[in-house]
Amino acid sequence: MNPIWTIFKKEVRDNVRDKRSLFFAVLYGPVLMPLLMIGPLLLGMHRNSIDFEEPKTIAVVGVERAAHLMQFLKANNLDAQEAPDDFQQEIEAGRIDAVLEIPTVFDDRFRAAQPADVLIHYDESDEDSRKLKRQLTAILDRYDRTLRQLRFQARGIDPRIFEPLNVVENDLSGEGLEVPFIAYIVPFLLLYSMMMGGFYLAVDTTAGERERQSLEPLLSLPMSRISPVLGKYAAVFFFVILSMVLPLITSYALFSFLPADLLGSGIDFGPHTFLVAFVLGVPLALLITAFLLTVAAFARNTKEAQTHLSLAMMVPLVPFFLLQFMNVPTQTVTLLIPIISQFKIMEMAVASQAIPVTHFLLTTAGSVLAAVILLGATIGLYQRERILL
Amino acid sequence: MIKATALSKSFRRQGSRKDRVQAVSDVSFEAGNGQITGLLGPNGAGKSTTLRILATLIQPDNGSAEIDGFDVTEAPQAVRRQIGFLPHNSGLYPRLTARENIAYYAELCGLDARQSRMKTGELIERLSMRGFADRRAEGFSQGQRTKVALGRALIHEPSTLILDEPTNGLDVMATRQLRSILRQLRDEGHCILLSSHIMQEVSMLCDHVAIISDGRVALADSIDGIRERTGQADLEDAFVVAIGGRLEATE
């Protein structure tokens, strides 16, 4: 049997029995992190958004005083119902969100083309009440505009006279389309999850093996010293890729709860974007694995490995913070730089831009090259007797 | 068959660039097949370093060593096929069972799944490990750990066994059991080299002894030969004389 495969199997089995390794690989990154990072964000968006399509009822005082307005409300998914007499207490108690009051003089003033009052009773401190009030205001605004135009036309006046300016905005920023912070959240999440998922395995298979003194007999076996490094690499990679794919699925599920129009036009969090994230994630996983393994292998014991890794883990996170306040252009050079390139391409995917195949080739080449260099350093270390001292 | 000639090895002192410690300066001895050879010496004499050179884990600065005719620096892979190595601390994987620990090495040595299962089962019987074969190594006693490590070292049927302080930490019964296993292996024709700092251990088990002190082999001979050459009937006295000590001073 191939020793690399044997070592891979053993390390995976060994670490599946370690609850800590398993927790970080299948629970922390894949489930807890997406819920903690994306959950509140989506929930916040959900709460602030108003679904104008969803039919709701609105309590109205004096339904019969403004039949036309009631029809307009109904056409906009607000069904008028007569409000109870004690509606003020009901609003305070939170049992009714908002009440539209049509005063008795409404019809007279309306017919006389005088400004006719309508009152909105609501509770500013209550979120649902605020939302219904916003929805009501928006619909009444539209009603107001329609009526104004009709009245001008009835008197033979062009309503456009009252619009001296027509401002047209022409955004020439092109590629630099402002992609919200949310575009970085998925690659950041994957990056962090991969590092946490491979962390304990990297430490356990390298520094841990040295500390337990099981490396000496292992290296006295008749096999090439490259095999243990590659076997361990494969095992860590398995955990890392698991910590990439699982949170990808979780975040996709979370984003699919979001109404499509909420993120704004041109923002894509559909299957295509997540497919791009996966394609970008595989070479990144190769690199993260090599990075974790190398840092841990050069440490003398597990404690040192954990300290070094905790500090080293900030390195892959630096590009994320840099991109927050630096304008990095998307060029051949930047696309070769691991992590920066993945973030830039994700930005394009989220902004629904077409991504050239060369972009994928460049980011893969850069990450794989870096992974090979790091892995080479570890293989070199295992050839030297320093690994046993 | 082990043949070490004028081995020397120095290490860099921890935390210093130039300062070096001479762990082994002149080690020469032979260990024959069908014999148990003891490397006897006080702590820090260079026993472990010598065994690690023989196990191809580290390379000597000078001198050479051969196992069954293969040079440890020139043909390390061939040497590794000839040896089973039991390190100072048995070095088991705590989350694997005894059986899994042994089977892991079987597969690494190129046995297929069926052969590995068979050989592992045989060794479990032979080393009386049946009672704890399928328990995880985490809570094993020192005796149980040594047995598993020995089984692991024997899995590829090596001609030569290199054991670093194998009786360390074993209780009386475990020690006796280990001795009888080692004698059996010797009688089958294996070349067995073990290190120890316990005189009694060596005199009871070994046919041949190399006394090592301050990185040099001071004397190498059969137990009787050492008694004769130092003129001491007691092996402990013979040891003190061999490493250049004075008997009165140590009494």
Contact A6 B11 (CB under 8 A): no
Is A360 part of any domain? yes
Query: Per the CB < 8 Å rule, is A222 touching B153?
Result: no
- Section B45-70 average pLDDT: 94
The pLDDT of residue A276 is 93
Q: Output the pLDDT for position A174.
A: 44
Q: Which positions in chain A touch B113 (Cβ < 8 Å)?
A: 1
pLDDT for residue A169 is more than 80: no
Count of other CB atoms within 10 angstroms of residue A4: 20
Question: Are B244 and B228 a contacting pair, CB within 8 Å?
Answer: no
Among A111, A139, A165, the domain-final residue is A165
Residue pair A263/A35 in contact by the 8 Å Cβ criterion = no
Which A residues in the span 257-276 are in contact with B, Cβ-Cβ below 8 Å? none
State the alpha helices, DSSP H only, in chain A.
3-16, 19-22, 33-48, 67-75, 87-92, 106-111, 127-154, 182-203, 209-211, 215-219, 226-255, 271-297, 302-312, 314-325, 332-336, 340-350, 357-383
The residue type found at A93 is A
Number of domains composing chain A = 2
Task: Answer yes or no: do B108 and A220 touch at CB < 8 A.
Answer: no
CB pairs under 8 A between A and B: 78
Mutate to test the interface with B, among A220, A227, A304, A387 (most CBs of B within 10 A): A220
Judged against a pLDDT cut of 60, whether residue A175 lies above it is answered with no
Kindly state the tokens that stand for A245.
């794919």
Q: What is the reported pLDDT for A235?
A: 96
CB contact under 8 A, A6 and B57: no
Confidence at residue A330, expressed as pLDDT on a 0 to 100 scale: 78
**Considering only CB atoms, which chain B residues are within 8 Å of A223?**
80, 108-109
Which DSSP state fits A79? E
Structure tokens at B160: 């030569």
| Residues A137-144, mean pLDDT to the nearest whole number | 91
Contact residues on chain B for A228, CB-CB shorter than 8 A: none
Chain A nearest-CA distance from B170, in A, is 19
Domain coverage including residue A315: 3-47+178-388
Residue A285 covered by a domain: yes
The sign of the CA dihedral A351, A354, A356, A361 is positive
Sign of the CA dihedral running A200, A205, A210, A213: positive
Same domain membership, residue A182 and residue A156: no
Asked if B108's CB is within 8 angstroms of A213's CB, the reply is: no
Q: Which of A266-275, A277-286, B126-135, B161-170 has the lowest mean pLDDT?
A: A266-275
Residue recorded with tokens 């022409």: A170
Q: Any chain B CB within 8 A of the CB of A13?
A: yes
> Rounded to the nearest 5°, which phi and psi values hold at A112?
-80, 5
Q: Answer yes or no: is pLDDT of B250 > 50.
A: no
Distance from CA of B196 to the nearest CA of A (A): 19
Q: How far is A240 from chain B (nearest CA, A)?
A: 21
Query: B156: which residues sit within 8 A by CB, 6+ positions away?
Result: A221, A222, B81, B84, B105, B106, B109, B110, B111
Residues A108 and A155 in one domain: yes
Q: What is the pLDDT of residue A171?
A: 57
Q: How far does the CA of residue B247 sit from the closest CA of chain A (Å)? A: 36
Considering CB atoms only, which of A3, A216, A389 is closest to B87?
A216
Q: Mean of the pLDDT values across residues A334-357?
A: 88
Lowest-confidence region among B64-73, B110-119, B155-164, B238-247: B238-247
Kindly report the number of other CB atoms within 10 A of residue B228's CB atom: 13
**Which band of pLDDT confidence, cut at 50, 70 and 90, is reported for residue A363?**
very high
Q: Is the dihedral of CA A104, A105, A107, A108 positive or negative?
A: positive
- The conformational region for residue A253 under phi > 0 = left, psi -120 to 50 = alpha, else beta, is alpha
pLDDT per position as a tens digit, B80-131: 999 999 998 889 999 999 999 999 999 999 999 999 999 999 999 989 899 9
Consecutive H or E run containing A62: none
Asked whether A73 and A61 are in contact (CB, 8 A), the reply is: no
Residue type, position A118, single letter: V
Q: Answer yes or no: is A173 within a domain.
A: no
Largest CA distance in chain A: 103
Bigger pLDDT: A116 or A170? A116
Q: Give the pLDDT band (50/70/90) at residue B75.
A: very high
A19 contacts chain B (CB < 8 A) = no
**A161 and A18 in one domain?**
no
pLDDT for A4 equals 95
- For residue A297, pLDDT over 90 is answered with yes
Nearest residue on chain B to A18, judged by CA atoms?
Answer: B95
Tokens of B102: 């042994």
Taking an 8 Å Cβ-Cβ cutoff, which residues of chain B contact chain A? Answer: 11, 52, 55-59, 77, 80-81, 83, 85-89, 91-96, 100, 104-105, 107-113, 136, 149, 152-153, 156
Would you say residue B197 has pLDDT above 70?
A: yes
Residue A322: which residues within 8 A CB-CB, separation 6 or more?
A: A328, A340
DSSP tag of A77: T
Paired strand residues for A57:
A79
The DSSP bridge partners found for residue B2 are B31, B67
Calculate mean pLDDT across residues A150-154: 88
Contact flag A220-B85 (C-beta cutoff 8 Å): yes
Q: What is the mean pLDDT of chain A?
A: 87
Within 8 A by CB and 6+ apart from A182, the residues are A41, A263, A267, A350
Q: What pLDDT is recorded for position A239? A: 94
Rounded-to-integer distance, Cα A44 and Cα A38, Å: 10
Question: In this predicted structure, what is the pLDDT of residue B88?
Answer: 85
Dist CA A204 CA A11 (whole Å): 9
SS (H, E, C) chain B: CEEEEEEEEEEECCCCCCCEEEEEEEEEEEECCCEEEEEECCCCCCHHHHHHHHCCCCCCCEEEEEECCEECCCCHHHHHHHEEEECCCCCCCCCCEHHHHHHHHHHHCCCCHHHHHHHHHHHHHHCCCHHHCCCEHHHCCHHHHHHHHHHHHHCCCCCEEEEECCCCCCCHHHHHHHHHHHHHHHHCCCEEEEEECCHHHHHHHCCEEEEEECCEEEEEEEHHHHHHHHCCCCHHHHHHHHCCCCHHHHC
Q: Determine, for residues B80 and A3 on separate chains, whether the beta-carbon distance falls below 8 Å.
A: no
- Between CA A105 and CA B174 the distance in angstroms is 106
Place B251 in a pLDDT band, splitting at 50, 70 and 90: very low
Whether A113 and A245 share a structural domain: no
Average pLDDT in the A360-371 region? 95
Pair (A230, A111) in one structural domain = no
Confidence class of residue A172 from pLDDT cuts 50, 70 and 90?
low
- Tell me if chain B has a CB within 8 Å of the CB of A383: no
Interface contact A217, partner B, CB < 8 A? yes
Report the chain A residue with the minimal C-alpha distance to residue B85: A217
Short-list A306, A289, A309, A298, CA closest to A233: A289
Chain A residues inside the 8 Å CB shell of B107: 1, 3, 6
- What pLDDT score was predicted for residue A366? 95
Q: What is the pLDDT of residue A176?
A: 41
Whether the per-residue pLDDT at B226 is higher than 60: the answer is: yes
Answer whether residue A240 is part of any domain: yes
Whether A130 and A199 share a structural domain? no
Residue A68 domain-assigned (yes or no): yes
The size of chain B, in residues, is: 251
Distance CA A303, CA A322 (A): 30
> Per-residue DSSP letters for A338-350?
TTHHHHHHHHHHH
Q: What's the CATH number where A160 sits?
A: 3.40.190
pLDDT in the model for residue A180 = 56
pLDDT of A12: 94
pLDDT of A289 over the 90 cut: yes
Contact B156 A222 (CB under 8 A): yes
Measured between alpha carbons, how far is B6 from A383 in angstroms, rounded to an integer? 25
Contact B110 A1 (CB under 8 A): yes
A287 Cβ contact partners less than 8 Å away, ≥ 6 residues apart: A338, A367, A368, A370, A371, A374
A105 and A236 fall within a common domain: no
**Are residues A295 and A337 both part of a single domain?**
yes
pLDDT at residue B41 is higher than 50: yes
Domain B2-91+162-250 adopts which CATH fold? Rossmann fold (3.40.50)
A86 lies in some domain:
yes
Query: pLDDT tens digits for A31-79?
Result: 888 888 877 877 777 777 777 778 888 999 988 888 889 999 999 888 9
CA A181 to chain centre: 9
Cβ(A290)–Cβ(A374) below 8 Å: yes
Percentage of the residues of chain A whose pLDDT score is greater than 90: 40
Poorest-confidence range of A171-185, A248-262, B48-62? A171-185
> What's the complex ipTM?
0.92
| Rounded CA separation B28/B151 (Å) | 29
B234 or B141, which is more confident? B141
A128 touches chain B (CB under 8 A): no
One-letter amino acid for residue A315 of the chain: V
Q: How many residues does chain A have?
A: 389
What average pLDDT does range A325-348 have in this prediction? 85
> Residue A13: its chain B contacts at CB < 8 A?
96, 100
Nearest to B58 among A215, A221, A385 (CB): A385
Look at B108 and A3 and tell me if their CB atoms are within 8 Å: yes
Residue A177 has pLDDT above 60, yes or no: no
